[in-house]
Amino acid sequence: ALSRHEIGASRRVLGAIDEAIRASHGDAGARRDLEARLLAVLEGEGTPDSKDFACRRLSLIGSAASVPALAKLLGDERLAHLARQALERIGGAEAREAVEKELTRLEGSLRTGALHTLERLAAREAAAGAGRGPEAPRP
């Protein structure tokens, strides 16, 4: 049902997904399942609004498995910012390398945004490597 969601429609399906995310706290298997279902929306024929929602939720529960699908959105005017936010929260070498790879096809503000994301990812890696604490905890 999420793949057909549009702004202004009933939020019941969105609420059910949010509740499933809350209920999955501490359950890695349930999180992986939710992540896979959100990725299916991103990679499928979802509406722009459903993909917006999926990106926002992947910024909460996404893992390295989400990086390829999110990186593909870096050239999408509407979704690039949300994809970058999710990639920054996921972090790690996979996210950094995916953004670097996509830079070759980006121009203008999309390229500038990706460069800012690379700066934030590098700063996060440097902080973790400098012993200033672990990476930000994941919900």
On the question of pLDDT at 136 being above 60, the answer is no
Kindly give, in sequence order, each residue whose CB lies less than 8 Å from that of residue 91, ignoring residues fewer than 6 positions away.
Answer: 121, 124, 125, 135, 136
Query: 106 is written with which tokens?
Result: 């980006």
Q: What is the mean pLDDT of the chain?
A: 90
For the chain, the straight-line distance linking the first and the last C-alpha, in angstroms and rounded, comes to: 25
State how far the Cα of 83 lies from the Cα of 71, in Å rounded to an integer.
7
State how far the Cα of 15 lies from the Cα of 103, in Å rounded to an integer.
35
Q: Which pLDDT band holds residue 19 (cuts at 50, 70, 90)?
A: very high
Amino acid at site 78 = R
Q: Which pLDDT band holds residue 59 (cuts at 50, 70, 90)?
A: very high
Distance of CA 104 to the CA centre of its chain: 20
Q: Which pLDDT band holds residue 137 (cuts at 50, 70, 90)?
A: very low
